[in-house]
Amino acid sequence: MPVITLSKNRFSTFIGRSITVEEMAKWLPWAGFDIEDVEPDYVKVEFNPNRIDFSSTAGVARAFSGLREWKTGLAKYEVEKGKVVLNVDSSVSEVRPYVLAAIIRNMRWDDESVRELMEMQEDLHWGVGRDRRKVSIGVHNMDVVQPPFSYVTSAPNAVRFVPLDKVEEMSLQEILKKHEKGIGYSHLVDWAPKYPLIIDSQKRVLSFPPIINGELTKVDSQTQNLFIEITGTDYNAIARSLNVLVTALSDMGGTVESVRVNYSDRTVVSPDLLPQRMKLRIDYANELLGLKLSESKVIQSLRKSRLDAKKISKGVLQVSIPAYRIDIMHEIDLVEEVAVGYGYFRLKPTKPATITTGKQHGASEKANHVRQIMIGLGFIEAMNFILTNEVAHFEKMRQKVSREMVKLANPVSTENSIARVELLPSLMKNLADNKHESYPQQLFEVSDVIRISEKTETASERRLHMAGVCSHPVANFTEIKSIVEALLADLNVKRWKVKAARNPSFLEGRVATIHVKDRKVGILGEVHPEVITNFELENPVSAFEIDLEEV
Amino acid sequence: MVELREHEQTTLLTLQKLKGKAPVNQIVKASGLAHAAVMRASLSLTMKKLTRVHEQKQTVITLNEEGRYHAKKGLPERRLIRGLLKLKGKASVDEAVKEASLEKKFLTIALGWLNRKGWATIEKKKQVLKAPKEPQIGVDEKLLSLLDQKGLLIIEKLNKQLQDAVSVLKRRKLVKMDEKTLRELELTEAGWKLVKQGIEIVKEVSQLTPELIRTRNWRKVKLRRFDVTAPGPAVYPAKIHPVQQIIQRIREIFLEMGFTEIRGPIVETAFWNFDALFQPQDHPAREMQDTFYLANPKEGKLPKRNIVDAVAKTHENGWKTGSRGWEYQWSRDEAKRLVLRTHTTSVTIRHLAKHKEPPVKVFSVDRVYRNEKVDYKRLAEFHQIEGIIMDKKVTLRDLMGTLKEFYLKLGLKKVQFWPSYFPYTEPSAQSTVYVPKLKTWMELCGMGIFRPEVVEPFGIKHPVLAWGGGLERLIMLKLGVDDMRFLYKNDLGWIRRSPICQ
């Protein structure tokens, strides 16, 4: 989850009163924050990824002031009509079709605010922009360039500029090949014949979206006027991200000015900070929350969540949603706003009236019977992972790896590359891990394996298996045979028989398969000495495994 | 009459033969019992006041290598004076040494002691030695030869003279000393009385046998009394794995609360794992680094067309749900991809899709997967607890109340609910519980009401309350384990020694 550090002093400025870190830490969780750390001069919090507007201190302060009833209702944002134009060349539709822009004038800020702006940009890139694919943002010092601006495309080697924090000019191609950001994000453009660029009237490069800005328009705490461009593959996503950014900068003291964005077929005045409207039925909210709030109480709660609401018909409110609340997509989201504004701490738990009787799943019932029997036979239960790898699962057991099994496409660790098809290899591993413990050792497991199965929807099926191992100096076939016979008798399995068999994991002449109603359901025998050695064990091991789906 | 065990009887009788008092070693020799048996008997007999133990600190003195050499050859000064006397009592040092065949290294010692003992005079300028006659054998020399004969002596038993000589030999570094405790056993008056009455040794039997029972011979033999306080050899009961024990308890709680257990595929289509839960196809959680995708088999089948279409449209534009949707082009192929389920909620939504009539109360405690690097607090394969209530008119407060009840049954009395976010629930909440053992609040289960975008495509018409959380954190808390990986190490020592009741 994303994190923001709220300095006590900055936070106090935004809420317009002085506050202690204790008070911050007490109230922030009621707005949905997780407290990570409380220090004398700051509070570090995690916020939920849907609330990208919390990526600035301004954004957190808005919600906090509402919750404390210091400032309630919709925060209003004015956009001054500007004259600056951004022309969009139609060629961008081939690579990165959408752009919007805004101007922020008269910023008076410090290094801290600049750093926060950068972090906000990163949070937007990640949370909404899907790591810059959908949305990427460029913030520029407007005073060093000359509008009108253009969003164009350029051949990979036609333009050179100095990328941010560098001193030498590079071509677009060089940036993709050599620059650290270029290498990291090249996949977003390198497939296109021409790459996107934002330039000014003198053809100076502001940015190479979504890769990197130019050094020319670098922003620092001395910068007064900002030009913000935002490009991407999803028009709504860039419009919303721009709103989150612009409203935060407005709260930081800047004046928002619009930009005329000229597409070949239309002109957009950007940004659009008009509140969104949505209906909320009071009954709907009350029924889901288990409350009986009056219309005015619902309105008051919504205002504490920094929304506005007015009645439009009996039991129905028209809710105004500020431009930065890009997470609200359904009436249900307003219900939660009512709950947060009302205060989760005021929601008293109640017991539902629903009467039902419970029942355990058949597989659990069967597994529990097996547990009871095996404990009675003196076996300790082991629990192992379904995930394993081919060496542990097949090679050490002297089995061929050629069998069909579930294979993972992208495991982080090579330890986990397949799903087990049997339980016995895990039990052998358990014996190997417990050599220092006293013998005899008798272990069992009752759990799932996963088999490939053409018939099912998921092309595989989980099957409940059970397996057991006995290890001590005189472990042998007879012993495990007695165990299996006792087990099958207690499971009330009828008409089973045992046939001599061959299996590379077991000693020849001391291994048999178990059959129920002529279906092979399992195996038992003395484990092959080579297998024992593969697991670096010394005591003989007798073992069995049964597919419980078949008995 | 005092009860006596076989070894005790033998010890008493041996002691009688040894005239009522003897060191332990001697009793061992005379009785044929093991040393340990005599020691045990002497302790128990003393407790019964039949014997007394005398403990004596003893210093054992023995010759060292040089001591043994001198014991054989005579002290250097003795050898030198004998050489001198052969030369008629007057000779140069060199001549005397030669005559005595004295090793060079002992010369200074010999001259020093000749002088100290006053056996000879030495004229310094000419280095001439003079001695009138053979001196008497000294006490030190007596001790030396005594030690040579006996091998060892006990200082405390020597006469005063010899004891003084000990310190001389000690200073000359010819002897070794060792401290020892000598135990002597002596019959008390009661002991004497007992042995005089006569003790008949009865064979003792430790194991009662079928034979003894059948023949009634157990009456004739003496069944050895056991030290009932001695620890028994360790045995370990077979038992259910500690993690499974807790799973069972949690399942019981759900069953007690009227929930029915559900179970579903571990290998799941992205459709049921993500799409059905309104997670957009470009959501970061669906990316390769968080989710295990399958290389084999790669694809599964999608459910009926009308369901898939409703889900697809809900993603794209909200369908009939009133939502704006995620505003993108939904892909069937993406939904067909197979994954290891990242939560058990896939099983829940499958179940609800088939059971739309209220009420539904279901739960699962089952395996889920995250493609993460494993460390002490993270596993790639772990268990999720999940509970679901679907019914007419159930509320967020009902969900909180259900959780409260659930925690109470786990022994967690204090619980708080906070606003939170989960992609498929709204409103959502997080719960923290107070853990008295750790004196701290801990996050356990997340919860919420399924979003309309989740339930409506499946025709579910009533609120679905859902909560869930990781099992392993709870278990670590309960069992005091601080590395999550340890839970599945199947360490036999841990399992064998983990109490069932805790």
Q: Which pLDDT value is given to residue B37?
A: 86
What's B35's domain CATH number? 1.10.10.10
Q: pLDDT over 70 for what percent of chain A?
A: 100
Q: Is B474 a member of any domain?
A: yes
Of A137, A142, A111, which Cα lies nearest the Cα of A243? A137
Two tokens, residue B451: 């979003």
List the domains of chain A with CATH numbers. 3-67 (3.30.56.10), 85-270 (3.50.40.10), 279-346 (3.30.56.10), 362-550 (3.30.930.10)
pLDDT computed for residue A264 by the predictor: 92
Q: Which amino acid is at A485?
A: E
What pLDDT does B1 receive?
53
Task: Give CA–CA dist A307/A66, Å, rounded.
Answer: 9
Task: Identify whether B1 is part of a domain.
Answer: no
Give the residue-averaged pLDDT of A398-406. 86
| Closest-CA distance of chain B to residue A316, Å | 15
Encoded tokens for B325: 């949707």
Higher pLDDT, B479 or A362: A362
Integer Cα distance of A153 and A209 in angstroms:
10
Higher pLDDT, B62 or B362: B362
Q: Buried b vs exposed e over B465-477: b needs ≥16 C-beta within 10 Å? A: bbbbbbbbebbbb
Residue of B nearest to A26 (CA): B418
- pLDDT of A475 > 90? The answer is yes
**Percentage of chain B exceeding pLDDT 70:** 99
* Cβ contact A387–B380 (<8 Å): yes
pLDDT band at residue B2, thresholds of 50, 70 and 90?
low
Q: What is the pLDDT of residues A190-203, one digit of tens each?
A: 999 999 999 999 99
Q: Is residue B423 domain-shared with residue B294, that is, in the same domain?
A: yes
Residues B222 and B182 in one domain: no
Which stretch of DSSP H or E encloses residue B113? helix B107-117
Say if residue B165 is in the same domain as residue B258. no
| Residue of B378, B377, B352, B376 lying closest to B364 (CA atoms) | B352
Which residues, in sequence order, are CB contacts of B278 under 8 Å at separation 6+?
B314, B315, B326, B423, B424, B451, B453, B454
Banded pLDDT at A417 (limits 50, 70, 90): very high
Same domain, B275 and B374: yes
Selected for mutation to probe chain B from A380, A426, A444 (highest B CB count within 10 Å) is A380
B44 pLDDT tier (thresholds 50, 70, 90): confident
User: What pLDDT, on a 0 to 100 scale, did the predictor assign at position A269?
Assistant: 95
What does pTM read for this prediction? 0.80
State yes or no: cis peptide before B231, omega within 30 of 0: no
Q: Which domain holds residue B279?
A: 243-497
Q: Which residues of B touch A466 (CB under 8 A)?
A: none
A432 interfaces chain B, CB cutoff of 8 Å? no
Residue count (chain B): 502
Contact residues, A window 50-89, toward B, CB-based 8 Å cutoff: 50-51
Q: Is residue B164 part of a domain?
A: yes
pLDDT at residue B285 above 80? Answer: no
Choose the mutation target among B396, B399, B431 for the interface with A, i.e. most A CBs under 10 Å.
Answer: B396
User: For residues B394 and A502, what is the distance between their CA atoms, to the nearest angstrom?
Assistant: 59
User: Which member of B267, B323, B463 has the closest CB to residue A329?
Assistant: B323
Mean local confidence (pLDDT), A416-441: 95
Structure tokens at A241: 């991200």
Residue B101's SS3 state is coil
What rounded mean pLDDT belongs to chain B? Answer: 90
Backbone angles phi, psi at B150, to 5 degrees: -85, -15
Residue among A246, A256, A258, A236 nearest A327 (CA): A236
- A-chain CB neighbours of B266 within 8 Å are 386, 419, 448, 450, 462
pLDDT of B440-480, one tens digit each?
Answer: 899 999 999 999 999 999 999 999 999 999 999 889 988 88
CB atoms within 10 A of CB B51: 25
Same structural domain, B79 and B12: no
Residues 246-285 of A with CB under 8 A from B: none
Query: Which residues have C-beta within 8 Å of that of residue A76, sequence separation ≥ 6?
Result: none
Q: What is the per-residue pLDDT across B19-30, written as a single tens digit (0 to 9) for each?
A: 889 888 889 988
Residue A541's pLDDT band, with cuts at 50, 70 and 90, is very high
Quickly count: other Cβ atoms within 10 Å of residue B162's Cβ: 18
ipTM reported for the complex surpasses 0.90: yes
Confirm whether B26 is domain-assigned: yes
Q: What residues have CB less than 8 Å from B326, skipping those under 6 apart?
A: B278, B280, B315, B316
Q: How many domains does chain B have?
A: 4
pLDDT given at position B458: 96
* pLDDT tens per residue across span A77-86: 999 999 999 9
Peptide bond just before B423 cis, omega within 30 deg: no
Burial pattern A21-58, b for ≥16 Cβ within 10 A else e, equals beebbeebbbbbbbeeeeeeebbbbebbbbbbbbbbbb
**H-run or E-run covering A508:** strand A506-516
Q: What is the pLDDT of residues A307-326, one digit of tens each?
A: 999 999 999 999 999 999 99
Closest alpha carbon within chain A to B253: A358
- Let me know if residue B49 belongs to a domain: yes
**pLDDT tens-digit readout, A136-184:** 999 999 999 999 999 999 999 999 999 998 999 999 999 999 999 999 9
Mean pLDDT over A507-513 rounds to 96
Residue B238 falls inside a structural domain: no
Count the Cβ atoms, other than its own, within 10 Å of residue A251: 18
pLDDT tens string A219-264 = 998 999 999 999 999 999 999 999 999 999 999 999 999 999 999 9
Contact residues for B364 (Cβ-Cβ < 8 A; gap 6+): B261, B262, B263, B264, B344, B347, B348, B384, B385, B386
Q: Using CB atoms, pick whichever of B262, B322, B393 lies closest to residue A330.
A: B322
Residues B194, B275 share a domain:
no
Tell me which of B467 and B125 has the higher pLDDT.
Answer: B467
Chain A residues in contact with B257 by the CB 8 A cut-off are 358
- Same domain (yes/no): B52, B113: no
Rounded mean pLDDT of chain A? Answer: 94
Can you tell me the mean pLDDT for A58-67?
94
Task: Please check whether residues B170 and B189 belong to one and the same domain.
Answer: no
Mean pLDDT within A419-444: 96
B193 and B87 in one domain?
no
Please list every residue in chain B whose beta carbon sits closer than 8 Å to the beta carbon of residue A49: 421
Contact A419, A449 (CB under 8 A): yes
Q: Are residues B208 and B198 in the same domain?
A: no
- Residue-level length of chain A: 551
Give the one of A234, A340, A462 whose C-beta lies nearest to B327's C-beta. A234
Cβ separation B496–A374 shorter than 8 A: no
DSSP 3-state of A524: strand
CB atoms within 10 A of CB B420: 22
Residue A38 has pLDDT above 70, yes or no: yes
Residue B373: is its pLDDT beyond 70?
A: yes
- Tokens 């924050």 map to which residue? A33
The answer for residues whose C-beta is within 8 angstroms of residue B44's C-beta and 6 or more apart is: B5, B8
End-to-end CA distance of chain A: 47
Q: What is the 3-state secondary structure (H, E, C) of B362-407?
A: EEEEEEEECCCCCECCECCEEEEEEEEEECCCCCHHHHHHHHHHHH
Q: Are residues B271 and B379 in the same domain?
A: yes
Taking chain B, what is the end-to-end CA distance rounded to the nearest angstrom?
A: 48
In this prediction, residues A464-477 reach a mean pLDDT of 97
Q: In this structure, what is the dihedral angle of CA atoms B317, B320, B322, B328, given to the nearest 10 degrees?
A: -10
User: Is the predicted pLDDT of residue B181 greater than 90, yes or no?
Assistant: no
Residue B34: both structure tokens together: 């093991």
| pLDDT at residue B132 tops 70 | yes
Measured CA to CA, the distance from residue B398 to residue B452 in angstroms comes to 18
Q: Is the residue at B73 inside a domain?
A: yes
* CATH number of the CATH domain containing B415: 3.30.930.10
Per-residue pLDDT, averaged over B36-42, amounts to 87
pLDDT, tens only, B199-232: 777 677 888 999 999 999 888 888 888 878 888 8
Are B467 and B407 contacting, i.e. CB atoms less than 8 angstroms apart? no
Residues of A in contact with B263 (CB under 8 A): 361, 363-364
What average pLDDT does this structure show over A36-55? Answer: 93
Q: B52 and B80 share a domain?
A: no
